[in-house]
Structure 1
Amino acid sequence: MTTFSTSATSRPLTSSEWVSTLPPWRSLLATLNWRPVYDIEMRGRESEKRAKQLESEIELLQESNARIARFEQELFSSSNQAPSTGDSSPT
């Protein structure tokens, strides 16, 4: 099975463009509709692309959550300390 790599900016191949990338014997079979799974393959590729996108979004969310947790920890630890008045002499 041959897989085609496409860049993020390229558009998906149309059915006729996809057929033109095949070897002649395979193109003939595709033209005769011996292998009508082009749409299934395209949906599979789109699903893989979406899964990769979701994985990267999950990583970004995890990083954001970690930053928020660190910020909250620093905020709460500094709010538990006694506020300093800047006056070091006892009253």
Structure 2
Amino acid sequence: MSMLNWRRDPDYEMRMTAKLIEIEQIKKETEQVRRENKRLAELNSRMDALLRHPDSYFSIPPETDCN
């Protein structure tokens, strides 16, 4: 009997669309944070190597990507 009174809710569709867009944005931001964490971990590793072996500074190639 409840199906006889069912009406389409356009607000629900708009909310769902907004949520899907929000989820995609969060996925993109999460991936960007993961890439940045990886980059920082690599830099941290290089810094540790420099601190442990300061005489070998010139054997480590300089970072070429400034971003």
- Divergent runs of 4+, >2 A: none
Please state if 1:62 is matched with 2:37.
Answer: no
Q: Which residue of 1 aligns with 2:44?
A: 72
For 2:35, the aligned partner's letter is E
TM-score (norm 2): 0.69
Deviations 1:10-63 (A, max 9, x none): xxxxxxxxxxxxxxxxxxxxxxxx624100010000000000000000000000
Among 3, 11, 15, the residue aligned to 1:43: 15
What is the aligned residue count?
51
Q: Which residue of 1 aligns with 2:24?
A: 52
Where in structure 2 are there 5+ consecutive unaligned residues?
A: 1-5, 57-67
Distance 2:54 2:23 in 1: 49
Distance 2:47 2:55 in 1: 13
Structure number with higher relative contact order (C-alpha < 8 Å, ≥ 6 residues apart): 1
Structure ID, larger Rg: 1
For 1:76, the aligned partner's letter is D
